[in-house]
């Protein structure tokens, strides 16, 4: 089988190459300035992927602490931990950070790190564009946070944007939002958006042009498939936001009237443009989570993903339908009944392919041998929580029900179930699953279980009660609430849950640090999970060139074929 070697067959000659580039692979052996030089100049997809992930985790901690301050304020009625203006800045920055500086770069990070390894390539299609994307995203992040210094001009320290992450006009117009904070919001998000577009373009080109021999589209790992659909969605859905932001800047700086209601402009045009981006954005964030689940669940069930073609088709269907549901964020703006019915129907229709995905994961587990390591635990919690999120999503799609629920805490609970209970849980699963690949070390299973249970209990403690207060009439984005509306107990419980979540994240960070820092932490080897996709065929951590020899694949589970020569997958394809 000389011509069909898998990269598992290491060749002695390559050991020399590996030794030769070793100093550049392990930057911890370099001095600080050398390390900085490597970070600034690198175009390697793995380093950039890790840089994306580290940067977004830092932003995650910042935005998480902001959320904690808000929960502290709302723990009791008439709370006044922070002033109204500060509270409004906190939720604006929390939302903007979580979506644009945590969610988007996290998915870019996972995509960058994993896609070339999964499709047997040595790098992304455009490595320099990749580096550009990272740095402009980071610049956008700095610009947004610089508003704390420059948002009110020289006298206005502390004036971060306070218009909400959705920045509805005309609140963002000069007449109602003075100073520079809204401009920092606009430019910061615009820059990070350019970064996201660059990385989406790169993913598409990589998947289209860089797959190793034999890696047909039908054999591509599910994660790669979902990132491909995801990138298409980014490419189509992000420009509307950029366009609207350019219009907003024209309004604010050149006196244009796009969203200027005092000169005939429309207040809801912004909402249309924003949600044409904003709703697909939710799917953009959840697709990588779907991808991670579709990799992790089969490995820990010891079975291939159930109904691969249906899984891919469902993803494509979600992508298409999600482009036509945006106005379900606008049921309260007074659309005519025909539009409301159309968008209600489209919204519920998204539930069908999403349901297919959940059923297929479930079917993957059926008949398997489930191994409850930390990544699998996070996936199972995901399934429960995402199920709830999906069903509350259906409720919000039922227009008249939404007239009651819209902009209440019910919505807060719903989308935190998708984005924390879904996206963040999947990211944790992915972290535990691929950390050994990126570092060559295992994360502690004990700490991992603590992390999982504290996170799951804390998350549900925080966000289940928020459904209830929403239905009891508590609107979103209020910095305080009076005593006697029946909201006290649930708000207090929600705030208690935050403490558990903070502890969970602290344990997670500690787990990573102790694994990397201690010399006696458990080594993972190249393939600790007995997995089936190509990234596990190379070293941990992978060398700069990923594969000593470009692999050739014959099925969607190349390592299964290798480990089970008597029963290979390609027999059934």
Partner 1 sequence: MASVSSALVPPVIDPAQWKLPDRGIIGIACLIITESALFSIFVVGYIFYIGKSLNGPYPKDVLHFPVLGTIALLSSSVTIVIAERALEHGRRALFQLWWIVTILLGAFFLGSTAMEWHQLIVNEHLTISTNLFGTTFYSLVGLHASHVIVGLLFLLLVGAVTLFGFPIETQKRRVMFLSWYWHFVDVVWIIVFTVVYIVGR
Partner 2 sequence: MIGPVFCLMLQTRLAEHSVANIFDPRATPAATEKNLALFTFSITGGIFIVVAALLIFAIVRYRSRIPNDLEEPAQVYGSGKIELAWTVIPILIVFVLTGVTGRVIASIEDSPQPSSATHITLVGRQWWWEVHYPDFGIVTANEIHVPVSRSAQDHPTFFTLQSADVIHSFWVPQLSGKTDLIPNRDNHIWIDPREPGIYLGNCAEYCGTQHANMMLRVIVHPAGEFEKWAVAERTSFVPAAQSNPGRAVFESLACVNCHTVRGSVAAGRFGPDLTHLMRRQTIGAGVVPLTPKNLRDWVADPQEVKPGCLMPSMNLSNTELTQVVSYLEALK
The least distance separating partner 1 from the CB of residue 553, rounded to whole angstroms, comes to 8
The least distance separating partner 2 from the CB of residue 133, rounded to whole angstroms, comes to 31
145 binds, among partner 1, partner 2, none (CB under 5 to 8 A by kind): none
Residue 462 to residue 298: CA distance in whole angstroms: 30
Binders of partner 1 in range 251-270 (CB under 8 A): 254-258, 263-266, 269
The least distance separating partner 1 from the CB of residue 537, rounded to whole angstroms, comes to 14
Residue 380 to residue 363: CA distance in whole angstroms: 13
Cβ-based nearer residue to partner 2, 22 or 485:
485
Please select the residue that binds partner 2; options are 27, 68, 266, 521, rule is CB under 8 A.
266
Binders of partner 1 in range 4-33 (CB under 8 A): 4
* 408 scored as a contact of partner 2 (CB under 8 A): yes
**Per-residue DSSP letter, 519:** T
Q: What tokens appear for 31 in the block?
A: 């001095």
The partner residues of 475 in beta bridges, in order of sequence, read 408
Judged by CB under 8 A, the stretch of 82-90, 238-246, 296-304, 530-538 that binds partner 1 is 238-246
Cβ-based nearer residue to partner 2, 311 or 431:
311
On whether the CB atoms of residues 283 and 421 are closer than 8 A, the answer is no
* 77 scored as a contact of partner 2 (CB under 8 A): no
**Contact mark string toward partner 1, 144..183, x via CB under 8 A:** ----------------------------------------
Residue 353 host element (H or E): helix 337-365
Binders of partner 2 in range 373-392 (CB under 8 A): 380, 383-384, 387-388, 391-392
Residue 317 to residue 229: CA distance in whole angstroms: 10
Cα angle vertex 147, ends 43, 92, to 5°? 95
Residue 571 to residue 508: CA distance in whole angstroms: 42
Q: How many CB atoms lie within 10 A of CB 44?
A: 24
209 binds, among partner 2, partner 1, none (CB under 5 to 8 A by kind): partner 1
Region of 557 please: left (phi>0), alpha (psi -120 to 50) or beta. beta
Please select the residue that binds partner 2; options are 329, 406, 414, 467, rule is CB under 8 A.
406
3-class SS letters over 139-152: HHHHHHHHHHHHEC
Region of 546 please: left (phi>0), alpha (psi -120 to 50) or beta. left
Please select the residue that binds partner 2; options are 147, 192, 301, 501, rule is CB under 8 A.
301
Cβ-based nearer residue to partner 2, 79 or 195:
79
Listed in sequence order, the residues at least 6 apart from 288 whose beta carbon sits closer than 8 Å to its beta carbon are: 106, 107, 110, 111, 223, 226, 227, 230, 423, 426, 427
Please select the residue that binds partner 2; options are 302, 449, 539, 549, rule is CB under 8 A.
302
On whether the CB atoms of residues 312 and 319 are closer than 8 A, the answer is no
Helical ranges in 398-487 per DSSP H: 399-405, 409-418, 425-439, 445-471
* 326 scored as a contact of partner 1 (CB under 8 A): no
Judged by CB under 8 A, the stretch of 199-207, 345-353, 413-421, 526-534 that binds partner 1 is 199-207
Q: What tokens appear for 507 in the block?
A: 């344990």
The least distance separating partner 1 from the CB of residue 3, rounded to whole angstroms, comes to 7
Binders of partner 1 in range 270-289 (CB under 8 A): 273, 276
Judged by CB under 8 A, the stretch of 98-106, 233-241, 288-296, 397-405 that binds partner 2 is 397-405
Q: What tokens appear for 451 in the block?
A: 């992390």
Binders of partner 2 in range 98-157 (CB under 8 A): none
Q: What are phi and psi of 305, to 5 degrees?
A: -60, 135
**Contact mark string toward partner 2, 323..352, x via CB under 8 A:** ---------xxx-xx--xx--xx--xx-xx
The partner residues of 408 in beta bridges, in order of sequence, read 475
* 320 scored as a contact of partner 1 (CB under 8 A): no
Q: What tokens appear for 537 in the block?
A: 């065929």
CA distances from 478 to 80, 148, 474, 481, 491 (A): 12, 21, 9, 7, 13
* 204 scored as a contact of partner 1 (CB under 8 A): yes
* 126 scored as a contact of partner 1 (CB under 8 A): yes
3-class secondary structure, 153: strand
The least distance separating partner 1 from the CB of residue 277, rounded to whole angstroms, comes to 9
Please select the residue that binds partner 1; options are 48, 107, 115, 125, rule is CB under 8 A.
125
Q: How many CB atoms lie within 10 A of CB 283?
A: 23
Residue 490 to residue 492: CA distance in whole angstroms: 5
* 108 scored as a contact of partner 1 (CB under 8 A): no
* 230 scored as a contact of partner 1 (CB under 8 A): no
Please select the residue that binds partner 2; options are 486, 506, 509, 513, rule is CB under 8 A.
486
Cβ-based nearer residue to partner 2, 223 or 306:
306
21 binds, among partner 2, partner 1, none (CB under 5 to 8 A by kind): none
* 239 scored as a contact of partner 1 (CB under 8 A): yes
Cβ-based nearer residue to partner 2, 158 or 367:
367
CA distances from 233 to 284, 320, 326, 390 (A): 7, 8, 14, 20
* 552 scored as a contact of partner 1 (CB under 8 A): yes
* 320 scored as a contact of partner 2 (CB under 8 A): no
Binders of partner 1 in range 42-71 (CB under 8 A): none
Dihedral sign (CA 344, 346, 350, 352): positive
Binding site for partner 1 (CB under 8 A): 1, 3-4, 125-126, 197, 200-201, 204-206, 208-214, 235-240, 242-244, 246-247, 250, 254-258, 263-266, 269, 273, 276, 550, 552, 554, 561, 565-566, 568, 570-571
């Amino acid at each position: 089988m000389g011509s069909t070697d898998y990269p598992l067959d290491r060749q002695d000659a390559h050991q020399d190459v590996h030794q030769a580039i070793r100093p550049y692979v392990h930057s911890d052996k370099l001095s600080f300035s050398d390390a900085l030089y490597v970070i600034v100049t690198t175009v390697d997809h793995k380093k950039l992927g890790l840089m994306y992930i580290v940067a977004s985790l830092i932003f995650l901690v910042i935005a998480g602490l902001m959320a904690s301050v808000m929960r502290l304020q709302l723990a009791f009625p008439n709370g006044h931990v922070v002033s109204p203006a500060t509270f409004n800045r906190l939720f604006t920055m929390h939302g903007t950070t979580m979506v644009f500086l945590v969610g988007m770069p996290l998915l870019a990070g996972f995509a960058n790190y994993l896609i070339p390894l999964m499709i047997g390539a040595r790098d992304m299609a455009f490595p320099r564009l990749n580096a550009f994307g990272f740095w402009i995203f980071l610049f956008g992040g700095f610009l947004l946070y610089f508003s704390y210094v420059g948002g009110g001009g020289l006298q206005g320290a502390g004036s971060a944007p306070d218009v909400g992450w959705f920045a509805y006009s005309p609140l963002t117009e000069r007449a109602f939002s003075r100073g520079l904070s809204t401009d920092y919001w606009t430019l910061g998000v615009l820059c990070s958006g350019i970064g996201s577009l660059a990385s989406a373009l790169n993913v598409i080109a990589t998947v289209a042009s860089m797959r190793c021999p034999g890696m047909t589209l039908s054999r591509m790992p599910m994660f790669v498939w979902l990132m491909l659909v995801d990138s298409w969605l980014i490419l189509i859905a992000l420009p509307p936001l950029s366009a609207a932001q350019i219009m907003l800047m024209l309004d604010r700086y050149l006196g244009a009237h796009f969203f200027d209601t005092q000169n005939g402009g429309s207040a809801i045009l912004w909402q249309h443009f924003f949600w044409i981006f904003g709703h697909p954005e939710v799917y953009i964030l959840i697709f990588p989570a779907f991808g991670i689940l579709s990799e992790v669940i089969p490995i820990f069930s010891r079975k291939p993903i159930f109904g691969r073609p249906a899984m891919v088709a469902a993803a494509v269907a979600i992508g298409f339908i999600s482009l036509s549901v945006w106005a379900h964020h606008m049921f309260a703006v007074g659309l005519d009944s025909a539009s409301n019915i159309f968008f209600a129907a489209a919204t519920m229709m998204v539930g069908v392919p999403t349901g297919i995905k959940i059923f297929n994961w479930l079917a993957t587990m059926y008949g398997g041998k489930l191994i409850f390591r930390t990544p699998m635990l996070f996936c199972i919690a995901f399934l429960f929580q995402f199920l709830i999120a999906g069903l509350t999503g259906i409720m919000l799609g039922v227009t008249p029900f939404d007239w009651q629920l819209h902009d209440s805490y019910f919505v807060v609970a719903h989308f935190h179930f998708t984005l924390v209970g879904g996206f963040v849980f999947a990211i944790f699963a992915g972290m535990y699953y691929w950390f050994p690949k990126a570092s060559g070390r295992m994360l502690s299973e004990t700490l991992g279980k603590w992390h999982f249970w504290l996170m799951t209990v804390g998350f549900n403690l925080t966000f289940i009660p928020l459904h209830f207060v929403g239905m009891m009439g508590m609107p979103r984005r209020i910095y305080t609430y009076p005593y006697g509306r029946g909201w006290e107990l649930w708000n207090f419980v929600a705030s208690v849950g935050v403490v558990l979540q903070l502890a969970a994240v602290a344990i997670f960070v500690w787990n990573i640090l102790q694994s990397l820092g201690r010399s006696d932490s458990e080594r993972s080897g190249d393939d600790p999970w007995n997995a089936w996709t190509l990234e596990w065929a190379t070293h941990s951590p992978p060398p700069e060139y990923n594969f000593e020899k470009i692999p050739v694949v014959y099925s969607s589970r190349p390592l299964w074929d290798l480990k089970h020569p008597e029963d290979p997958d390609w027999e059934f394809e």
